[in-house]
Structure formats: C-alpha cells, structure tokens
C-alpha cells in the first residue's frame, strides 16, 4: 500500500484529505505544518508528499526545498496545494523543486486522479 | 469550479460526503477568528511586527481555504477580501491603520454571524456588502500611504555602489529577464541589504523583491532585470562574493502556462508515463476544455514557442497573489492553544466529569484503606504497606492530573474584554485601559461559562458608570485614561476574581437617598460596607441616565444571584472619587486540598493546610482575656486573637478531663488568628465536598469532606474566622 | 384557603403510590417517586447552631446530605435511635435529604376516591404541606406534600437568601 504524507495546518482540510486518500486505498501520515512534516519525513517512509502552502513554522515551499536537499528525498513526488495557479506560484514551486501543484479548493476525485498519475 | 461546492447540504461528488468535516471546520474557523481578533487588538500600529501580520493573514487565509472547500461561498468571499488587505499589510505595501483594524474586527464579527447561520444556530446572516466595500477602499490605499517598496527613486549618486566597468548608469540593453537570486550563507545580513539598495540606487537596473528563505543566513530574491548574470555578479561583488551568489533564470525553464487555467500542473514530465503526460500536460494547444485544476511542472519541448518573455505581469511582484513562502519562524506567542497543536483531543465535558467523580471516589477509598491499615503490623504486612504507599502516591498523582483537565486559565474568560472594552469606551467617548492580572489562574470549566455574564456586567458598569469622561478626569487631576483591572487568584479553596476601576467610585449619599426613595430601611449609621450592599437590591440603579450600554438590562441583583448560584460571594469596596472594587469569590468545584485535621471534643474539623502558619501547645496562663470575653495569645512579639473552636461550634464536652490546649495559628487575607483545639490529628489530602448543594451555607464552614472512616468532617472557613476580628 | 388548595391538590392527585411511615402514633404517606432509598440510622456529623431537628450531615456514597429528624420537628413524645430507626432518603427537586422516622410500613396504592381533604386544624404541620387524608382499610394516613414541607423556611434547609 502506498503512503502519502499529507501536510496542512487546517485540521478540517487535513482530515478531509486523509479521509479521501484512505478511502482510495492509501496510507496517510498527517503533519500539521512544514516543520512537523519534515520531522516525520525523517522517521517515516512514504511515496508522495501533498502539502499546503501557507503554514506556520515552515511553509510548503520551504518544506519542499528542505526535502530536496536530502538525497533520499530527491525524487519523491511533492505536490503543492495552492490557492491559485499564477506564474508566480509556478516559478516559486518549480524553483523549490516541487513535482506539481493542485489548486484549492479541489474536488476529492481529482485529487485521487492526480495522485494516481504520479504514483503510477 | 469543482463540483464539490454545494452550499450547506450534502457536498461532494460521488462517495465523498464532506459534511462530516463541517464541525471541525466550524470549530477551527472559530478559533482562527478568536486568534485573529486577539492579534488585531494587540497590534501595534506604529511598529507592527512582520510575524504578527503574517499570523493574522494566515488566520484569514485558513478560513478562506476551508470555506471554499466546504462550500460556504459567503464566508469565502468576505475572507478573501480580508485576505487581500492583510496580504498588502504583511508585504508592507500598506501601513496598518486604525480604520483597517476596525473594519477587520467588524468583518470577523460578520464571519462569526455567517458561520453561525451555516451551523444552524442562527438564521440572520449579517450583511457584508458594506464591509466588502470598505475593505476594498482601504486596500486601494485610500486612507493609507503605501510603503515605498516599489518605485525606484530617482538615481542619487550611488555612494556604496561601485562603478564596475561595463555597467552603464543608464538602462542597459538586453532582454528583460526574471531571475531568482540566492545570496548566502552570509556572515552579515547587511551584505544582502546593500545588494537590495543597488537596485534602488541604480536607475534601470531592475527591480528586486525579497522572497522568504528557509535558511536565516541566506536571502532569496525575485529579480527582474535586463542585465546579464555576469553584470550582476560584478555589481554584487562589492558586497557579496561570487561564490555566495546563485542566479537562476526563470525564463530558461518553460513556464507551463496552460491555455485554460488547468488548476493543476507538473513541472517536469512524469516518469514512466510519458504518454499520459503528453495527454495531461498543458500543451500549447488548450488541453481539456474543462478546467482540470492541477498541473505538473512539465518540461515540454513543444512548449518552447510559448516561452518568450513570460507574461510580464509586472516586475513588481509584491502585487501578485499570495504565494509567498514564509520565513521559518517560531509559532506566534499569542496563541496559547494554537490550533496547529497536533496533540490535543476534543472530549465531551460529561466524560471528564465522570472521570473526576471516579477519581474523587478513588481518593476516598484509598484514604479508607490507609486508615484501616494503620492498625496492622508493618513488619508482618510489609508488602501490603509498601503497596499502599505506592497506591497513595499514584492516587495523588492521578488526581492532580485529572483535576487539571477541567481547569482552564482565566485568560479564556478575560479574552473577550479587550475587544468589548474597546468598543464600549469608543461608544461612550471614554478612554479606558484594561489591565489583567493572574491570567494563568485556573478555574473549572463549568464556572467559566457561568462567570462570564456577571463579569461582563461588572466591567461594563465600571466603564459606563465608574470611569469618568476624559475631561472630567483631567479636571480631577487624574490621568486621562481610566484603568480597569481584572485580576484572578487562588485563595484557600476558592478563586477570587476582582474588577477594579479608578473611576469616581460610589456615592454613599446617593445610594442612601435612592434606597430611601425605594422604601428600603436604611439609616445613616450604616457602615460603608452595608451601604454598598444596597446596590444589590432589585431595580437599584443610581445612574443619571440609563445608557443602553448594559445591554440586557441586568442589574447588580442578577449579578449577585448568578454568583450565589455558583455558591460564591460578592463583596464591594468603594472610595468616592478614587474608584471601586468588586470581589467575587467562588469555590473551586471538587477541589482536592491539603488539610490538617484537628480534634475538638469528639469531633473532627479540617483546616486548609495552606492557611496554617504554626501550632503550639499552651498553658492556661498564656492566654489573656480582654474586655467582652475576647482572648488574646502572645506569639513571639505579636498578640493574636484566640478563637476557641469548642465555643464557636458549641462542641459538647463529655470528657471533662480533656480540654483545648493546642493553638493553631491560621492566616487569611493578611490577618491571623489562633484557633484553640484539643489535638492535632494529622495532615492529609481531602476531597472538598459541597455542603450547600443539599443543605445551606453554614457560617465559618467552607465545605465538608469525607474522612477515612466514611464520616463527614466540616472544613473551616479560615477567611470567615479571621474576618471576625477585622475592622 | 387551605381547604380549597387541598381540594385542588386532591383532584390533581388522583391515584398514586405512597410510602407509609410512622411517627409516634401517627401514620403518614409520601409520594413514592420522591423516595431514593431507605437506610438505617447512623450518627451524622453535627452542624453547630443548626435547629435541633437537623441532626447534621452524612455521607451518602460521596454526597453530603442533611438529616432531619421528623420526630423532633413534629414534636413527638420521644425520639429514639436504635437498630430499628429508619432514615428515608428523599430525592427532591432542589436537594437530597434524609428524614428520620420511627418505622416504615409499606407502599400502598391510593385512588382519588380514597383521599379526602384535611380539615383545617391547628397542628404542627402547616396545612400547605398536607395533601389530604388517605384511608385504606382501617388506617388513616396523613399524606404529606413532602416537597413543600422540606422547602419550607422553618425546616431550616433553605437559607434566607435563596
């Protein structure tokens, strides 16, 4: 079973995402912000990271950068959840090393769809 | 957008029922609003902290995200507007002003109203159009001076900047590029500041905007310039070594701009599935007609023609939507119960109550075991005794932990007052400062709910009737700002909450006159304390005008009744011209306290150990009698009044050989008395039981407890005992 | 007034189950639904300055409840405390309280017809507290409105400020 690290400081969003992913057969590790996610990354194994952008302590871009600095996380797919898809965001995401993005609010079905593409 | 956004009702497509997450969202949003409000009130307009502004922004952003996801469009819309304003504030495009804080606070209120409607607890949604308009106006800078980040100033002679060869002062020719420049790790951050200044000082060099960096020793910038990398490196060389500069050209990588806003995307082609990527990837030709909502940062050869000068949105990145990464920072201090705390659980209060009851029973049982085991031979029953000692310790620890579950700090109660007072003082044209003390003092959750209304009334009263208008205060030689102090502290087995103000206090004359008017039986001989108690009579109000500020039309009599219903007491002290103090004393429910048992005759009484100072044996001649039969005892250099418990409690004396010859000195409210008892029986923890739930208030008794033998013992009210001798 | 009250109460009384008990030579009845349990007498903890008929408080499985001796309250000839002395624990609207009685008999069912209003006689018991007189066989029971009785100010359970 594939594992997904789901990062969002909003409990309702996080729970919803976890519920959606678990329903689709994934195992979910939850983190409440970038720092928490980073710490969990060092002690858990997972196949994909799904992260919100705006979070305290360490945000999505920061988390992405930090993970990419590690050899073991150089290639893990990282999807950013953002509230808009401007060029700005894309540049920043790309620069940080993210694999892709998903715009919030999103349809749970689409979330599964995208993740399945990535984890194929 | 996506089809999961049905307002109210069952949301989600297919099997996804999002309604189960609504409750969490509502609670979360509520907490975010509380936090936002608190931070807005605390915000120092002159020196607003980046950290604070970011935190406030995040609160709005978080609510917006959830609202949009769960289909609460009205909430999402208003929050979105607030977010835009907050974004400008956090990027220093605008300076925070009082009107902005006002409109944000009002919007927070409106959001609460909207959320209440969605939760079903209200069907009166607040109107938001006006708020939206006002926010828009403020965000457009109508009343604020935008911070000068954007416009490059006319080129002054660039003092610190070198004039590297080949770097013309005029705008260099070249293609406009967007770069991301990393500077670091730096020994001094001023080095990076100097680089920034270059862009300001050199006309046409381009624009530089700071982005957040995960590494505090580095800086990241988004730069828009026509200069080549070499030119830039040369320019920076004066401040930053070449090795410390990393320039990334954004244009080199194709920005995958899906013709239609795909809503998603991938930055690079997905491995192992090139076919699907081609199908999925936002190719130049519009892909899906419907908006997919996601994307991959794909590297598409076919996308090359699309690349040229990526849409020159504006070099001024600051106006773009909020995607900004946040500087790694500590969690903002003002959130003691930060909602991002992953290790909290929500539990029904009834479960906690049950737990506390059970622990209380356990304590009693354990005490009984301890008592019954005293008669046993410790040598023979060594293991049993050891086990009981462990049990004692474990029970003690358990009860401490459990008690703390229901206890929450007074800051929760106090938190509503800054806002309330601000609005109220504003309405009345008064200047009032609120000081809170003892915010960490804990009280039982059940009491929190009940104490809030009476306290609110008392604070309103102080503001409305106590604190004078600024001119009047100045005329009296008082500072223009009135001060209302809220304090909480533990005293004995109670919590004492005080509302103090430095206003005009109460007029004895006026109260007596009003009382006479109402036909109450009063006399000029009444002590001040008695006069102040008159205001608790129903319908009593000496205010010249009844302002509609006190809302529900409750009076001091209701306050007193509410507090009495909690088995508490209210005391008033006032000094005309100087101010007033209202003291509310509440028993802590199911307090477990350390007690000292004393014996008088055949009866056992308990003293709160915290009030016991010392004890000693005396001989009859050490007690002196003064007029009216009062007795005094000399303790070192101090004479102290003596209270014979046998007399006060009319304890029947059967064994005439025994008599009281032990003095226990107790202290309360700064005063001391010596209690005369027969013997000291021991110290132990007692579960404080309420006497008044089934009986009534007994003078000099604050509660009762159950001893190891199952019998009830009365707990003495040391405050009352000490007060017998106070003036 | 009292009789009119009692009539009103009697008609609203209807049938009901009553626990019967004895105080001295008199038999009384009270609404069984108010009775929580029946216990033996144990010496309570004395409360200073309380009226004589309030014996004190006891621990009832963790709750502190007052004990009122009805024999003292109703000025009975004697009030003994022995193995047969019974305490009826009442669960009333505002409080749980125990009353000491000489003995408890049985629970009887009374129909509306078997209840008559009490004559307005001068007795230690306030007429407000008497629901009526019930008869069953040869026995005559004084039916008490135990809620009103225990909440009366002279019962000393209610502080004057309440």
CA–CA min distance B563, chain C (Å): 12
| pLDDT recorded at residue B567 | 65
Query: Between the ranges B103-117, B308-322, B347-361, C119-133, where is the mean pLDDT highest?
Result: B103-117
In the predicted structure, residue B356 carries a pLDDT above the cut 80: no
In the predicted structure, residue B373 carries a pLDDT above the cut 50: yes
CB–CB contact C65 B694 (8 Å): yes
Element (H, E) at B248: strand B245-249
In the predicted structure, residue B275 carries a pLDDT above the cut 70: no
Q: Is B409 on the interface with A (CB under 8 A)?
A: no
Q: What is the CA radius of gyration of chain C?
A: 15
In the predicted structure, residue B346 carries a pLDDT above the cut 70: yes
Query: Between the ranges B277-286, B653-662, C100-109, where is the mean pLDDT highest?
Result: C100-109
Same domain, B613 and B537: no
Three-state secondary-structure class, residue B90? helix
The larger pLDDT score, comparing residue C93 to residue B316, is at C93
| pLDDT recorded at residue B292 | 55
Q: Is A62 on the interface with B (CB under 8 A)?
A: yes
Walk across the sheet containing C139-144 and list its strands. Answer: C103-110, C16-23, C26-31, C139-144, C130-136, C115-116
* DSSP code string of B560-612: HHHHHHTT-EEEEEEETTTEEEEEEEEEPTT-EEEEEEEEETTEEEEEEGGGE
- What confidence category does residue B298 fall into, taking pLDDT thresholds of 50, 70 and 90? low
Same domain, B119 and B192: no
Q: What is the largest CA-CA distance in chain B?
A: 114
- Beta-carbon contacts of B681 under 8 Å, excluding residues fewer than 6 positions away, are B597, B598, B599, B604
Domain holding B302, by residue range, is 263-318
- What confidence category does residue B16 fall into, taking pLDDT thresholds of 50, 70 and 90? low
Mean of the pLDDT values across residues A101-118? 83
Per CATH, the homologous superfamily of domain C2-155 is: CheA-289, Domain 4 (2.40.50.180)
* DSSP code string of B600-653: ETTEEEEEEGGGEEEEEE--GGGEEE-GGG-EEEEETTEEEEEEEHHHHTT---
Same domain, B549 and B610: no
Q: Is C139 on the interface with B (CB under 8 A)?
A: no
CB–CB contact C49 B564 (8 Å): no
The CATH number of the domain where B39 resides is what? 1.20.120.160
Same domain, B455 and B568: yes
Q: Is C49 on the interface with B (CB under 8 A)?
A: yes
- What confidence category does residue B501 fall into, taking pLDDT thresholds of 50, 70 and 90? very high
Q: Is C97 on the interface with B (CB under 8 A)?
A: yes
CA–CA min distance C11, chain B (Å): 31
The larger pLDDT score, comparing residue B446 to residue B444, is at B444
The CATH number of the domain where A73 resides is what? 3.40.50.2300
Tell whether B3 is covered by a domain: no
| pLDDT recorded at residue B43 | 85
| pLDDT recorded at residue B581 | 93
B and C in touch (3+ CB pairs within 8 angstroms): yes
The 3-state DSSP composition of chain C as helix, strand, coil percent (nearest 5) reads 20, 45, 35
CB–CB contact A12 B66 (8 Å): yes
CB–CB contact A88 B58 (8 Å): no
- What confidence category does residue B561 fall into, taking pLDDT thresholds of 50, 70 and 90? confident
Mean of the pLDDT values across residues C99-127? 86
Q: Is C82 on the interface with B (CB under 8 A)?
A: no
In the predicted structure, residue A68 carries a pLDDT above the cut 60: yes
- What confidence category does residue B520 fall into, taking pLDDT thresholds of 50, 70 and 90? confident
In the predicted structure, residue C14 carries a pLDDT above the cut 70: no
Three-state secondary-structure class, residue B34? helix
Lowest mean pLDDT among A94-98, B503-507, B560-564, C52-56: B560-564
Domain holding A14, by residue range, is 3-118
Q: Is C12 on the interface with B (CB under 8 A)?
A: no
Lowest mean pLDDT among A87-101, B30-44, C139-153: A87-101
CA–CA min distance C116, chain B (Å): 33
Scanning B281-438, the segments in alpha helix (DSSP H) are 349-373, 382-406, 411-414, 416-428
Tell whether B47 is covered by a domain: yes
CA–CA min distance B197, chain A (Å): 23
Q: How many contacts (CB atoms, under 8 Å) link A and B? A: 208
- What confidence category does residue B141 fall into, taking pLDDT thresholds of 50, 70 and 90? confident
| pLDDT recorded at residue C73 | 92
Distance of CA C18 to the CA centre of its chain: 11
**Number of domains comprising chain B:** 6
| pLDDT recorded at residue B664 | 94
What tokens appear for C31 in the block? 């609404």
Nearest CA-CA partner of A101 in A76, A79, A68, A72: A79
Mean of the pLDDT values across residues B693-702? 86
Nearest to A88 among B55, B292, B323 (CB): B323
Q: How many contacts (CB atoms, under 8 Å) link B and C? A: 68
Tell whether B324 is covered by a domain: no
Give chain B's end-to-end CA distance (angstroms, integer).
Answer: 74
Q: Kindly report whether the peptide bond that precedes residue B185 is cis, defined as omega within 30 degrees of 0.
A: yes
Q: Are residues B265 and A86 in contact, defined by beta-carbon separation less than 8 angstroms? A: no
- Between CA B29 and CA B27 the distance in angstroms is 5
- What confidence category does residue A64 fall into, taking pLDDT thresholds of 50, 70 and 90? very high
Tell whether B165 is covered by a domain: no
CB–CB contact C64 B564 (8 Å): no
Q: What is the pLDDT of residues B89-128, one digit of tens each?
A: 888 888 888 889 989 999 999 999 999 988 888 878 888 8
The larger pLDDT score, comparing residue B7 to residue C22, is at C22
Chains in contact with chain C (at least 3 beta-carbon pairs closer than 8 A): B
Q: For an interface test with B, which of A36, A39, A64, A92 has the most B Cβ atoms less than 10 Å from its Cβ?
A: A92
Q: For an interface test with B, which of C41, C45, C63, C159 has the most B Cβ atoms less than 10 Å from its Cβ?
A: C45
- Between CA A108 and CA A92 the distance in angstroms is 25
| pLDDT recorded at residue B645 | 93
Domain boundaries of chain C, sorted by first residue: 2-155
Q: How many CB atoms lie within 10 A of CB A98?
A: 30
Average of per-residue pLDDT values in chain B? 75
Lowest mean pLDDT among B249-253, B407-411, B683-687, C135-139: B249-253
Q: What is the pLDDT of residues B587-629, one digit of tens each?
A: 765 456 778 999 999 999 999 887 888 999 988 777 777 777 7
Contacts of residue C64 in chain B, CB cutoff 8 Å? 689-691, 693-695, 704, 706, 712
The larger pLDDT score, comparing residue B39 to residue C161, is at B39
In the predicted structure, residue B546 carries a pLDDT above the cut 80: no
Lowest mean pLDDT among A32-36, B80-84, B211-215: B211-215
Q: For an interface test with C, which of B695, B702, B721 has the most C Cβ atoms less than 10 Å from its Cβ?
A: B695
- Beta-carbon contacts of B74 under 8 Å, excluding residues fewer than 6 positions away, are B114, B125, B128
- What confidence category does residue B323 fall into, taking pLDDT thresholds of 50, 70 and 90? very low
Packing angle between helix B22-42 and helix A11-23, nearest 10 degrees?
150
Q: Is A110 on the interface with B (CB under 8 A)?
A: yes
Same domain, B425 and B403: no
CA–CA min distance B699, chain C (Å): 9
Q: Please give the backbone phi and psi of residue B186, each rounded to the nearest 5 degrees, phi first.
A: -105, 145
Mean of the pLDDT values across residues B457-463? 89
CB–CB contact B357 C62 (8 Å): yes
**Number of domains comprising chain A:** 1
Give chain A's end-to-end CA distance (angstroms, integer).
Answer: 13
Q: Are residues C86 and C70 in contact, defined by beta-carbon separation less than 8 angstroms? A: no
Q: What is the pLDDT of residues B412-429, one digit of tens each?
A: 889 889 888 888 888 889
| pLDDT recorded at residue A85 | 65
User: Structure pTM?
Assistant: 0.42
Tell whether B241 is covered by a domain: yes
């Amino acid at each position: 079973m594939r594992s997904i690290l789901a990062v969002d400081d909003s409990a309702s969003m996080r729970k919803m995402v976890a519920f959606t992913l678990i329903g689709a057969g994934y195992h979910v590790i939850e983190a409440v912000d970038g720092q928490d996610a980073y710490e969990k990354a060092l002690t858990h194994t997972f196949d994909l990271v799904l992260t919100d952008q705006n979070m305290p302590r360490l945000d999505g871009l920061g988390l992405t950068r930090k993970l990419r600095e590690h050899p073991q996380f150089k290639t893990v797919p990282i999807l950013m959840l953002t509230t808009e898809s401007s060029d700005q965001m894309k540049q920043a995401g790309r620069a940080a090393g993210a694999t892709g993005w998903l715009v919030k609010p999103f349809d749970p079905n689409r979330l599964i769809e995208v993740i399945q593409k990535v984890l194929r | 957008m996506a089809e999961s956004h049905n307002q109210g009702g069952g949301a989600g497509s297919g099997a996804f029922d999002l309604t189960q997450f609504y409750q969490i969202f509502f609670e979360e949003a509520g907490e975010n609003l509380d936090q936002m409000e608190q931070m807005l009130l605390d915000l120092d307009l002159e020196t607003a902290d980046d950290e604070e502004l970011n935190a406030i922004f995040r609160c709005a952003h978080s609510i917006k995200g959830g609202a949009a996801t769960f289909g609460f469009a009205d909430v999402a819309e208003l929050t979105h507007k607030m977010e835009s304003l907050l974004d400008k504030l956090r990027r220093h495009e605008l300076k925070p002003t009082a009107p902005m804080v006002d409109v944000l606070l009002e919007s927070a209120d409106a959001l609460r109203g909207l959320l209440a409607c969605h939760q079903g607890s209200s069907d009166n949604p607040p109107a938001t159009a006006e708020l939206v308009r006002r926010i828009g106006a403020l965000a457009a800078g109508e009343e604020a001076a935008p911070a000068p980040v954007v416009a490059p100033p006319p080129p002054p002679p660039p003092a610190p900047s070198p004039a590297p060869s080949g770097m013309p002062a005029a705008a260099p020719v070249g293609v406009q590029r967007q770069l991301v420049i990393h500077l670091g790790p730096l020994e001094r951050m001023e080095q990076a500041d100097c680089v920034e200044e270059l862009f300001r000082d050199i006309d046409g060099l381009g624009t530089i905007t700071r982005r957040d960096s995960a590494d505090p020793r580095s800086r990241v910038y988004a730069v828009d310039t026509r200069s080549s990398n070499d030119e830039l490196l040369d320019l920076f060389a004066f401040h930053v070594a070449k090795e410390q500069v990393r320039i990334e050209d954004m244009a080199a990588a194709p920005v995958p701009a899906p013709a239609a806003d795909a809503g998603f995307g991938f930055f690079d082609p997905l491995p192992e599935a090139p076919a699907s990527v081609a199908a999925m990837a936002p190719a130049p030709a519009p892909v899906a007609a419907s908006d997919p909502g996601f994307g991959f940062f794909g590297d598409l050869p076919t996308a090359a023609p699309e690349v040229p000068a990526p849409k020159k949105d504006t070099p001024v990145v600051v106006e773009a939507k909020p995607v900004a990464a946040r500087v790694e920072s500590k969690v903002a201090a003002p959130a003691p119960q930060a909602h991002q705390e992953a290790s909290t659980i929500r539990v029904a209060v009834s479960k906690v109550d049950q737990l506390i009851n059970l622990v209380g029973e356990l304590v009693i049982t354990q005490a009984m075991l301890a008592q019954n085991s005293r008669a046993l031979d410790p040598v023979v029953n060594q293991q049993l005794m050891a086990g009981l000692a462990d049990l004692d310790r474990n029970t003690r620890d358990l009860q401490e932990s459990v008690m703390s579950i229901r206890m929450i700090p007074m800051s929760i109660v106090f938190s509503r007052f800054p806002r309330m007072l601000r609005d109220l003082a504003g309405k009345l044209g008064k200047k009032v400062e609120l000081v809170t003390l003892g915010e960490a003092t804990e009280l039982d959750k059940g009491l929190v709910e009940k104490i809030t209304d009476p306290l609110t009334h008392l604070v309103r009263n102080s503001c409305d009737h106590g604190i004078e208008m600024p001119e009047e205060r100045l005329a009296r030689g008082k500072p223009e700002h009135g001060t209302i102090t809220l304090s909480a502290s533990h005293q004995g087995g109670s919590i004492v909450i005080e509302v103090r103000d430095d206003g005009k206090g109460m007029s004895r004359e006026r109260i007596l006159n009003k009382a006479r008017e109402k036909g109450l039986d009063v006399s000029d001989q009444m002590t001040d304390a008695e006069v102040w108690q008159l205001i608790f009579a129903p319908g009593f109000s000496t205010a010249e005008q009844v302002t509609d500020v006190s809302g529900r039309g409750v009076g001091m009599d209701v306050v007193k009744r509410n507090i009495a219903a909690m088995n508490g007491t209210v005391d008033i002290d006032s000094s005309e011209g100087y101010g007033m103090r209202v003291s509310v004393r509440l028993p802590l429910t199911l307090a477990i306290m350390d007690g000292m048992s004393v014996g008088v005759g055949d009866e056992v009484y308990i003293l709160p150990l915290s009030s016991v100072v010392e004890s000693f044996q005396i001989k009859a001649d050490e007690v002196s009698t003064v007029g009216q039969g009062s007795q005094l005892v000399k303790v070192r250099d101090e004479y102290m009044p003596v209270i014979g418990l046998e007399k006060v409690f009319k304890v029947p004396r059967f064994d005439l050989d025994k008599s009281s010859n032990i003095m226990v000195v107790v202290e309360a409210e700064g005063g001391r008395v010596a209690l005369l008892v027969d013997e000291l029986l021991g110290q132990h923890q007692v579960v404080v039981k309420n006497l008044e739930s089934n009986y009534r208030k007994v003078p000099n008794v604050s509660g009762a407890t159950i001893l190891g033998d199952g019998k009830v013992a009365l707990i003495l009210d040391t405050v009352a005992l000490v007060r017998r001798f106070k003036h | 007034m009292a009789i009119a009250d009692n009539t009103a109460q009697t008609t609203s009384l209807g049938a009901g189950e009553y626990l019967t008990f004895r105080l001295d030579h008199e038999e009384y009845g009270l609404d069984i639904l108010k009775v929580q349990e029946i216990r033996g007498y144990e010496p309570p903890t004395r409360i200073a300055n309380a009226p004589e008929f309030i014996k004190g408080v006891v621990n009832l499985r963790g709750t502190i409840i007052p004990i009122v001796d009805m024999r003292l309250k109703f000025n009975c000839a004697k009030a003994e405390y022995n193995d047969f002395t019974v305490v009826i624990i009442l669960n009333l609207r505002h409080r749980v309280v125990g009353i000491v009685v000489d003995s408890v008999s049985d629970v009887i069912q009374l129909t509306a017809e078997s209840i008559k209003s009490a004559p307005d006689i001068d007795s230690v018991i306030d007429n407000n507290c008497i629901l009526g007189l019930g008869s069953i066989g040869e026995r005559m029971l004084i039916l008490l409105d135990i809620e009103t009785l225990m909440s009366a100010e002279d019962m000393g359970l209610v502080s004057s400020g309440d």
